[in-house]
Chain A
Amino acid sequence: MHALANPSRLVRLAGTYAPWCAVATVVTLAAGLFLALIASPPDYQQGESVRIMYVHVPAAWMALFCYSCMAAASAVALIWRIPTAELAAKATAPIGACFTFLALVTGSLWGKPMWGTWWVWDARLTSVLVLFFLYLGYIALSTAFDDPARGSRAASILALVGFVNVPVIKFSVDWWNTLHQPASVVRAGGPAIDASMLAPLLVMAVAFTCYYLWVMLLRLKSEILAGKIRAIQLRRMHG
């Protein structure tokens, strides 16, 4: 882990792995879209609109996954005082916010034909909306100070406090009677979804994860380089 704390080495590692993540994203996304849109059967009740699931469910998984990564990186940054972990958390936040927004929008588009409404105030939808605001709060707090280091440390504390929402989202469909259906892939007794639909779903989830890693590494690298440029410019100005 201490190898990753060295910014120069991290930039080199990010430069090495980002192209591989890009290739993996393109390949899995192409395969996943083919399986999801063409090769998989329409649902016997929902018809063709079930295909929204192949974007909605992986996006919702990534929304939680990104926040968990952000909270873990923030904990590492606060406990071991590793600034590069803060940068990783900072690089994750906008990606996670976009995935959360995507999950909310696709869920809304799916809800209209299936439930007959764009939005219901049930526990799952509300808690995901709160997650979206937590991402926005993190981004706003991390950029609200003249000293960037102060901002990212304050935001790290906020990320840890907001982590209480993640289990609430995960279990909201079990704790409350919601219109949103309970988990059907990761559950006791095996997935309650047919293999012809599970395969494209999992491929899409892998594609989304690769995409996250790719963009996160790029953002991390540019963040570190921007910090170095700032330091050089400051040194020049002060002679």
Chain B
Amino acid sequence: MLTAALAIAGREFRLAVRQGFDSLLAVVFFVLACVLFPFGVGPEPAVLARIAPGIVWVAALLATLLSLDRLFQTDYDDGTLELLALAPLPLTAVVAAKVAAHWMMTAGPLLIAAPLLALLLGLAADAFPALLATLALGTPALSVIGAIGAALVLGARRAGVLLALLILPLYIPVLIFGVAAVDAAAFGLTVRPHLMLLAGLSLAAAVIGPPTTAAAIRLALR
């Protein structure tokens, strides 16, 4: 079962690599969205440093949202998803493998770009490790919850906008604890409780997400 799941994850990686620049669009959007803020709120360093954690987190959240349409839609369109559902591997494991691959390919570039953006926005130096830790711990929850939404809107009219409406309310807890941790670090407070809550959210999402996503995919294939 593990070999099959790894094969599916490997297929996702190869697809991403061969599609080239497509898979980097999310991180380009992430950078662009962050860069908009100094123009929007003005280049005042104190203001930017204060709101930097929120900017980076909101942009990361929206970038993840944008990358979700690739998760199941192309496989749904060309019928691959039906074959995966018929395979001896449980659909929950297929989903888990696909989501894990999606997470590595979206969160990886975000984690590399985030410190550079935080530097541009003048985030306090003490908060950098916290920013990276929260993104690393929080983005799995974003990918897993997003997969539920991506599976639910398969075949819907105006799936992209609908996906945002379904998923963004569920992203709010991750955003709250992610930003709270970075803020705490910037003010020299303890970060641990926020990180533990974030990790808890990701773990709970990882338990609930794949079976729910598999049920939603089966519904779409009926």
Residues of A within 8 A of B (CB): 78, 126, 130, 133-134, 136-137, 140-141, 144-146, 150-151, 153-154, 157-158, 160-162, 165, 168
Contacts and interface: CB of A to CB of B under 8 A. Distances in A.
A133 B172 CA distance: 11
Given A144-B158, A145-B156, A133 B165 contact: yes
B153 A150 contact: no
Interface stretch (B34-42, B124-132, B208-216): B208-216
Given A126-B172, A136-B165, A162-B170, A157 B157 contact: no
Contact of B152 (A136, A146, A154): A154
B169 interface: yes
Interface of B: 148, 152-153, 155-159, 162, 165-166, 168-170, 172-173, 208, 212, 215-216, 219-220, 222
B166 A158 contact: yes
B216 A134 contact: no
Contacts of A140: 162, 165-166
A141 B164 CA distance: 11
A96 B155 CA distance: 27
A130 B172 contact: yes
A145 B166 contact: no
Given A154-B152, A157-B216, A145 B162 contact: no
B152 to A, nearest CB: 5
Contacts of B215: 78, 157
Main secondary structure of the interface of A (DSSP, over half): helix
Given A130-B169, A140-B162, A158 B155 contact: no
Contacts of B216: 154, 157
Contacts of B220: 150, 154
Contacts of B157: 144-146
A161 B212 contact: yes
Contacts of A151: 156
A134 B169 contact: yes
B219 A154 contact: yes
A163 to B, nearest CB: 11
Contacts of A153: 219
B212 A141 contact: no
A144 B161 CA distance: 11
Contacts of B166: 137, 140-141, 158
Nearest to B171: A130
Contacts of A137: 165-166, 169
A150 B169 contact: no
A171 to B, nearest CB: 14
A160 to B, nearest CB: 8
